[in-house]
C-alpha cells in the first residue's frame, strides 16, 4: 500500500474525533512505544493466548492505550475495551486485537439453525450497509460495504462465530476479519487485520483457525462447561453477529426481525467496531533488530 492511500485510511479513522489535516500516524516513530517479544503465553481476562510462531510482538497496557489515543483519536476511557494487542501473530496476520469479554451469559446457538437465519442475516447486513453509508456521509469520504469474503458462520467444533467482510475505503479494498469465541459466560471478540488485502476465503479460514486455537479458556470457563443454573444471555448467535457489526437486534414473538438500531451514529462507535488497520509497520525497525 502506498503512503498516500495509507494516510487517507488513517484520516478516515481519526476524522470522527478531530478532523486532522494530517493523520498523526504518518509521523509515528516506533520508539514512541516499547514492543515486547511475544514468546510466552499472555494472560487474558478469561483465558490465555499462546504464541503461534516466532517474531510476534505485543504492547503492554499503557503503550497500547497511548497508541490508540495518539494514532486513532480514541478517548482514554475506551482503552479498556482492549484485552491484548498483538502484531505479526502469524506471517499472515498484521495485527490481532483481543477485546474484553462480553459477560451477558451463555449464548445459545439454537437460532442459528432456524429456517429464517439467512433472512435475518440479510436484514442485519442491510442495517450495516446503512450505517456505513451514514458514516461515509458524515466524514465526507467514500466508504462502501462490498460484501462478504467469508459469509457469517458458526464452527461448532471450536464454538466460534466468524466472518470476513470487504470494505472499500476511498477506492482501497480492506478486509475485516471478526471472530467471537463463545464461553460459559458470554463470548470473547477478536478483530484481525491480514497482511494481504487480497487474500482468498481459504486464507481467512487459516487465519481464524490459528487465532482461535491460540486462545485457551481458563479452567471452568469454556463453552462446553455450561451447567444448569448458569446465567443465559437474552439473545442468541444472531444477536452476537449484529453486535459484531455494530447494530442492535431484537425480536418479538412471531414477528421476526423488528429492530435494527444503528449504534454507529454515536461519535466514535464506528471506529471502535473496526480493526486497527495496518499497524505492524510502526514497529518494523524493532522487529528487524530483534
Q: Is residue 16 a contact partner of residue 72, using CB atoms and an 8 Å limit? A: no
State the pTM of this model.
0.79
DSSP tag of 100:
P
Is 12 within 8 Å of 170 (Cβ atoms)? yes
Residues of the chain with pLDDT under 50: 1-28, 251-273, 285-290
User: In 3D, which of 201, 155, 205 has the Cα closest to residue 182?
Assistant: 155
Residue 101 to residue 185: CA distance in whole angstroms: 9
Q: What CA–CA distances, in Å, run from 63 to 32, 76, 136?
A: 9, 12, 30
pLDDT, tens only, 220-272 = 999 999 999 999 999 999 999 998 888 767 643 222 322 333 333 333 444 44
Phi, psi of 230 (to 5 degrees): -65, 150
- C-alpha cell at position 45: 481476562
Look at residue 27 in the predicted model and tell me its pLDDT: 39
pLDDT of the residue at 276? 55
CA distances from 267 to 223, 232, 263 (A): 34, 31, 9
Residue spans per domain, the chain: 96-289
At 118 the pLDDT is 94
Q: What is the pLDDT of residue 38?
A: 94
Query: How much is the pLDDT for 282?
Result: 60
Q: Which of 82, 92, 99 is nearest to 53 (CA)?
A: 92
> What does the pLDDT read at residue 70?
80
Amino acid at each position: 500500500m502506498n503512503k498516500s492511500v495509507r494516510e487517507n485510511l488513517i484520516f478516515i479513522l481519526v476524522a470522527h474525533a478531530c478532523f486532522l489535516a494530517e493523520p498523526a500516524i504518518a509521523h509515528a516513530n516506533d520508539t514512541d512505544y516499547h514492543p515486547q517479544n511475544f514468546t510466552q503465553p499472555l494472560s487474558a481476562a478469561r483465558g490465555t493466548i499462546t504464541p503461534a510462531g516466532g517474531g510476534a510482538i505485543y504492547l503492554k497496557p499503557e503503550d497500547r492505550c497511548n497508541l490508540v489515543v495518539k494514532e486513532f483519536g480514541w478517548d482514554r476511557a475506551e482503552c479498556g475495551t482492549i484485552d491484548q494487542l498483538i502484531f505479526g501473530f502469524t506471517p499472515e496476520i498484521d495485527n490481532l486485537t483481543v477485546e474484553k469479554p462480553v459477560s451477558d451469559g451463555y449464548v445459545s446457538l439454537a437460532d442459528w439453525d432456524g429456517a429464517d437465519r439467512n433472512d435475518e442475516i440479510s436484514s442485519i447486513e442491510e442495517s450495516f450497509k446503512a450505517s456505513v453509508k451514514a458514516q461515509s456521509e458524515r466524514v465526507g469520504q467514500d466508504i462502501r460495504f462490498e460484501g462478504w469474503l467469508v459469509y457469517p458462520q458458526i464452527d461448532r467444533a471450536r464454538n466460534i462465530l466468524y466472518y470476513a467482510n470487504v470494505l472499500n475505503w476511498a477506492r482501497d479494498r480492506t478486509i475485516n476479519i471478526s471472530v467471537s469465541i463463545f464461553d460459559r459466560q458470554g463470548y470473547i471478540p477478536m478483530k484481525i487485520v491480514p497482511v494481504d488485502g487480497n487474500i482468498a476465503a481459504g486464507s481467512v479460514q487459516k487465519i481464524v483457525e490459528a487465532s482461535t486455537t491460540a486462545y485457551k479458556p481458563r479452567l471452568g470457563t469454556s463453552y462446553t462447561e455450561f451447567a444448569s443454573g448458569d446465567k443465559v444471555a437474552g439473545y442468541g448467535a444472531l444477536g452476537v453477529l449484529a453486535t459484531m457489526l455494530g447494530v442492535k437486534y431484537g425480536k418479538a414473538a412471531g414477528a421476526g426481525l423488528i429492530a435494527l438500531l444503528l449504534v454507529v451514529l454515536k461519535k466514535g462507535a464506528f471506529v471502535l467496531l473496526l480493526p486497527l488497520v495496518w499497524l505492524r509497520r510502526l514497529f518494523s525497525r524493532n522487529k528487524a533488530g530483534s
